[in-house]
Amino acid sequence: MLEDLDDFDRKILRAMQANGRLSVGDLSDEVGLSKTPCLTRLRRLEAKGYIRQYKGVLDPALIRQDYVTFVQVKLEATTRRHLDAFSDAVQNIPQIQSCHMMSGGYDFLLKIRTRNMKAYRELLGDVLSELPGIAQTSTFPVMETVKDTHDYAVLEPV
């Protein structure tokens, strides 16, 4: 899909990723287009799904959600039924920021945010341990976050 983008499209994506609140006027100035073609391109990028949504990025410390834990999850079996049941169940747990199906010794890797270790321990005992098909978990508390970005590298086509 990246091959369908020209330099202006990539500039728009970079600019909107950096500041999703840019006005069309400011965006057009930044990318070097007049307002109408800039807005047309922006709407096309939205319609094609390049821009999925606009959100504010909250400061986790200010909302008391700055305790990060990674959890490896091993399921009892890796049948489609087990994988789907687990994948569906994690969608409804707001403390799980991301869930990735993995290859190797564990089946899933979760990124979890809570306010502290006690809150994580309660989540583990009351919620995570009740997820369908879990055979084993391993918890890795984060000591310090060195980099945490929501940005993607909008690269040139190859």
Q: What CATH number does the domain containing 86 carry?
A: 3.30.70.920
Element (H, E) at 114: strand 108-114
Which whole-number Å values give the CA distances from 45 to 8, 19, 26, 89, 144, in the listed order? 11, 16, 17, 32, 36
| Domain span including residue 12 | 2-47
pLDDT at 80: 97
pTM of the model: 0.85
pLDDT at 158: 56
Q: Are residues 72 and 136 in the same domain?
A: yes
pLDDT at 157: 65
Q: How many domains does the chain have?
A: 2
pLDDT at 3: 67
All residue ranges of the chain with pLDDT < 70 are: 1-3, 156-158
Give the closest residue to 31 by CA, choosing from 46, 48, 14: 14
Q: Are residues 43 and 71 in the same domain?
A: no
pLDDT at 22: 96
